[in-house]
Each structure stands twice: as structure tokens, then as C-alpha cells.
Amino acid sequence: MKSSVNKAQVIKQSIDSKKNEIIHLLRVFVQAESTQGNERGAQSLVIETLQQMGLEVDVWEPDAKEITSHRYFASSRTEFRGSPNVVGVLKGTGGGRSIILNGHIDVVPAGDVTQWRDHPYSGVVKDGKMYGRGVTDMKGGNVALLLAIQAIQEANIALKGDVIFQSVIEEESGGTGTLAALLRGYKADAAIIPEPTNMKFFPKQQGSMWFKLHVKGLSAHGGTRYEGVSAIEKSMTVINHIKELEKIRNDSITDPLYQTIPIPIPINIGKIHGGDWPSSVPDLVTVEGRFGVSPEETIEEAKEEMKQWIRRLAEKDPWFEEFPVTLEWFGARWLPGSLDPNHSFMQLLGDKYKEVIGAPPVIEASPWGTDGGLLTEIGSIPTVVFGPGVTEKAHFPNEYIELEKVFSCAEVIAHTIIDWCGDEKG
């Protein structure tokens, strides 16, 4: 016990001594505005940091031809020149279990800049919180991973298993970065993704995919609108029909991890547009949305259920018999992910959480997809999403992270790595 207590003290001291350095690192990460297509600057900072830490660094741009033909490829672009993936490996001495520490470097756009109190890429710190686009989703998590590794190095602990740190592109657009890392051969016995869970454990992640519906009408002059059929009115029937499906799908979910979540797997209607003249009856409306996929079903099963449901519109209104609504799946897609909450890696992470935080972790299913779906589905890697940021601020103005959570998260992860990979001297 004495050696373990000492080790914990050393890790804690090491993290404490590095706080200012990590705050600085997080700020320059945030300032390196790494929206889709502009990841190179931030990745250069990651490379520099990994090299200073003495890790084996691997930098590559996903091969467009190979990646776009993969069945799980989904992105709004098909060319990745200038958008490198970065991996840093801390090689183990052998005989231990390996771990992937995965975080994405891409951030969503800042949106309406006038809604930000400070510049979206300021990285300004106030009352223990750092502000900026991407600070919670998920550069705060990324520096927590780096800090965990640095603390282990500082404590002179030689791990048996490999630690594979991944700074990937394209998570916000469907996971091409993590898919590329899997195709490059990076596998491990477990993985942590420190997306903003507010320190909760998410062993299961909701998948999601985008759909587009075309709803038809019949044009006429607005002054004799009764001679036409409004595609806007018909689209209201379609949207209500989809809300029914959402209810049916969610009523069937009994997993206790979803107990506190009002709608475990929502179907979100995100966009609508239709008609081209105020004085004409609109003959076409397009509806776009996000379809939540349960961790217990496949993408294919979810697609089939939606397809059958849309066909049933004709039961509500014979119009749809003659003019069926067309359903298209397009753009981004995040695979669902699932890990048995009783898996040994979850148990270990939970134990370390209790030791560091002094209370058991809250365990839930995530309301959004992460790259965890790809790691479990393609790599069969047990994956837990656990990070310091807060979901409510991701993708919104005045995004922030509480810095103390970054440090606590790093401490939990450092101890988890040591026990999972094995301490050569321990």
C-alpha cells in the first residue's frame, strides 16, 4: 500500500506542478482555430508537444481513395490534403495491456461572433474557466490526456503496455480521422475518449445519421390555392409522423443508463426549405434531420425502421400513395458504441475515479455519437467516453471548460493507465 500511496502522491504533485504549463498549452490549442480543413496549425502544436515528451510520432493525411471507399466513411469532404492525423506512442516494455487515448482536434465553427462575450478563439481565463470554441469539445480533454502521460513520465514509471495518443481530424463531420487511424493499424486493449461528459462515464454512445426527405405538392396560383396541394402542409403531416416514430422507438428503451434522459435517441428535424414564390402553392419541401441510433441496434436496422415508417405515410393520407416521400441518407454519420458496464476496464476506471474524486462515477449513455462507435465497431476496442468538459457548452457561444476538471480527469486517467498497462517496477 505504501508504494501505491507514494505513487498517487507523486502523480498528484506532478500534475500540480504542471498546471500553468497545461493552461498555456490549452490556450494555444484553442487559439489555433482548427475548424474543418484548418487543422494543420493545431496539429503542429500537438506534434511539437509529443516530440518534447519523447513519444514516437506518426503524422499522415488520410488517403482519399482508400478512406472514401470504406463502408463507414462519412464526411462532407472527400479530400484531406493539409489535414493531418497525429499519433504519439509511448512504447511499453512489453507484456502489458495497451490503451488508446483518443481526442479530436477539429472544432465546429464559432457561429454568430456577436453572441460571444470574448473573441471565440481567445482562450481567456476567468474564475477558473477557460473560454473559447473547442475548449470543452474537446481540446480540454486532449490536454488532460497529455497531462496524464506527462505525469506518468515525471513519476518515472515504466509501463509494460503501449499508450497510443491520437489527435484526430474530422470527428465533427463523421469520424474520418479515427477511421484512418484504425485503417493504419492502431488497435489497443481499451480506449478512453475525453469528450465533454462533465466527468460522467459513457460506456454507451448514441449513434446518429443524417436524413433528407423530399415532400411533394402540386403547384397552383396562391389566389386559387385550392387548385393545388401545399407541400408545406404535407410536410407538417410528415414531421408529425416522424415524431410518432421517435416516441415508439424511445418507449421501447429500457436500459437503465437512459433512465434520466427525456428522449434517449431523438429524431431531430434540423432544417426545412420549400416553395419558391410567396404567391404560389409550394410543390416541394425538403426536410433534413438527425436520426439517433441506439447502442443496441445497427445503423442498418435503424435505416430500415425509418424506411418502413415513411412508407406508412400512405395510411394517414392517400396523397403519399401517389406521391411518396423520398428518403435519403446523406452527409455525416456516427456509429453507435457500446461497452458492457461490467467490463474490467470500466471497473478499473471506476475504481480510480473513486480514489481520486472520492465518490463513485455517474454512469450514463451519451446523447450523441463519438468516435467511440468506430473504435468498438471496427476495432472491437472496449471504449469509455469520459472527459472534463460540459456538453451544454459544446457547439454554443461562450463555450468554456472548468480547468480543475481537466486536472482531476488527467489524474484519474493517469492512474487508470498505470494499472491497465502495468507498471514494470510496481
Q: Which residues bind a copy of itself (CB under 8 A)?
A: 206, 208, 210-211, 219, 221-227, 230, 232-233, 236, 239, 262-263, 266, 268-282, 285, 288-290, 292, 331-332, 366-369, 391-392, 394-396
Of 170, 171, 283, 377, the active-site residue reads: 171
106 counts as catalytic:
yes
Pairing of strands 284-293, 207-216: antiparallel
Q: How far apart are CA 148 and CA 151, in angstroms?
A: 5
Shortest Cβ 323–a copy of itself spacing (Å): 16
39 counts as catalytic:
no
- Taking the alpha carbons at both ends of the chain, their separation in whole angstroms is 11
Could you give the strand order of the β-sheet that contains 400-402, starting from the edge strand earlier in sequence?
125-126, 129-131, 400-402
Between 368 and 420, name the residue whose CB sits nearer to a copy of itself: 368
Reading the block at residue 58, the C-alpha cell is 506518426
Between 175 and 266, name the residue whose CB sits nearer to a copy of itself: 266
Q: How far apart are CA 258 and CA 247, in angstroms?
A: 14
Between 225 and 307, name the residue whose CB sits nearer to a copy of itself: 225
Is residue 321 left, alpha or beta, with left meaning phi > 0 and alpha meaning psi from -120 to 50?
alpha
Reading the block at residue 345, the C-alpha cell is 476496464
Between 116 and 186, name the residue whose CB sits nearer to a copy of itself: 116
Shortest Cβ 33–a copy of itself spacing (Å): 19
Is residue 150 left, alpha or beta, with left meaning phi > 0 and alpha meaning psi from -120 to 50?
alpha
Question: Which of these, 17, 48, 46, 352, lies nearest to 154 by C-alpha position?
Answer: 17
Shortest Cβ 255–a copy of itself spacing (Å): 16
Shortest Cβ 355–a copy of itself spacing (Å): 31
Between 7 and 393, name the residue whose CB sits nearer to a copy of itself: 393
Q: How far apart are CA 55 and CA 102, in angstroms?
A: 15
Between 77 and 343, name the residue whose CB sits nearer to a copy of itself: 77
Of 58, 106, 162, 377, the active-site residue reads: 106
* CB contact set of 113 (below 8 Å; sequence gap of 6+): 119, 120
Name the residues annotated as catalytic.
106, 171
